[in-house]
Chain A
């Protein structure tokens, strides 16, 4: 009987070894990387595959988009277009032309009254480009608003032109979402597919699980307090949030956020946050990013009709928190508020 112990022990050890092997194999540790660019943070969390290499490559892709679109870098395509304002058309790359066209298409939804890439002279007037914040006089705002609209923009094939010499464009409101498009496109081409990739680019998310169809639980940041107001569930998606709570300044107890309402020339005050979830399709990262501003700068009355206009374009759903803190959703998503959990 004593002899019988040896095989039993061997069996148990082998079993424990196998269990350990599979436990480690089925749950690889995520690799998290943090980068700083576009005046914000890029966090990439990759599980499985060649995670570290994937993270580095995603960062490189975001850097490329930054080099192309940056308002501040003298050699960017945006800087070249702005430098030639009032002078003549500028030849740009096909990618850049496509991005500007996508931005203008979103503006057209409500005639540029809630999102406008040419609003940038007003951002400068309020000090958001230099961080030398100030509240401009009403006259300065109306004067600047006169040439801060996309009707200054002439796009023909791959040339872009600004009519007025004072007009400027800034793709900051769409470039982070567009970076996620470029990243998603690359992730699809990887041979050794990662299990999951979560990209957080200054609040814009890309949730990627490839063919695994992960059911994501997406927390919505509380715009005024700590933690989350609740969560929504979705398959792979782009998630863009526009809010008044991360970039703003205060004067005499009043909050002035960095998103300028193109219809008034003043920082948006109608909402605290707007989160737009779009499905994985080409340019939907960019479009979702821009739509975040559209819904952020829209009153509740028009949000519903705007949603009907864009519904067919891959919008999964929208979570809104208005100026009074009231939460609502648009589209076939289920929002689970924190209090109800």
Chain B
């Protein structure tokens, strides 16, 4: 085998590897992540695959909120300074698309990640 043929082979292999890496990056499946927004702006992200209990203290439009990820894949609002307490009573979010919402605080927790494969959630 000629030296030039070997170089050609290496270049082609490198190019193929590059395309494969690119493909994986484009199509990677995101981990299960909870995104916390206030007034449409992301204020925190929480890794729900973590085995540790995580406590977040954020500030909503009305006042402080305490958000707890239980280390078992669920996230909920533990305390909030809203009159209706709807967010505190909401079933903890766990699956992709699940949300916990506090309207008075303009706060939304959304679980992201692929898994259900649905386009939209009727609720």
Contact = CB atoms under 8 A, between A and B. Distances in A.
Contacts of A225: 91
A1 B122 contact: no
Given A1-B4, A20-B22, A207 B108 contact: no
Contact of A9 (B11, B108, B116): B11
Interface stretch (A30-38, A68-76, A85-93, A110-118): A30-38
**Which of B2, B40, B106, B121 neighbours the largest number of chain A CB atoms within 10 Å of its CB?**
B121
Contact of A221 (B12, B117, B123): B123
Interface string A297-337: 00000000000000000000001000000000000000000
A41 B110 CA distance: 12
B13 to A, nearest CB: 11
Contacts of B7: 2, 5
Contacts of B2: 1
Contacts of B24: none
Given A1-B5, A218-B120, A219-B121, A226 B98 contact: yes
A8 B11 contact: yes
A196 B17 CA distance: 33
A4 B4 contact: yes
A41 B90 CA distance: 15
A20 B116 CA distance: 28
A100 B37 CA distance: 35
Contact of B12 (A8, A39, A41): A8
Nearest to B96: A227
Contact of A41 (B92, B94, B95, B108): B108
Contacts, number: 110
Interface residues of B, number: 39
Given A12-B12, A34-B37, A246 B95 contact: no
Interface residues of A, number: 47
Contacts of A200: 120-121
A220 B84 contact: no
A246 B123 contact: yes
B86 A36 contact: no
B42 to A, nearest CB: 10
Interface in B93-123: 93-95, 97-98, 101, 103, 106, 108, 116-123
A154 interface: no
B91 A217 contact: no
Nearest to B94: A226
A150 interface: no
B18 interface: yes
List the 10 closest A-B pairs by CB distance, nearest first.
Answer: A227-B95, A219-B118, A221-B123, A34-B40, A12-B15, A1-B4, A226-B94, A203-B123, A2-B4, A219-B121
Given A226-B74, A241-B122, 9 more contacts: A1-B5, A8-B11, A203-B122, A217-B119, A218-B122, A219-B122, A221-B123, A227-B95, A246-B86
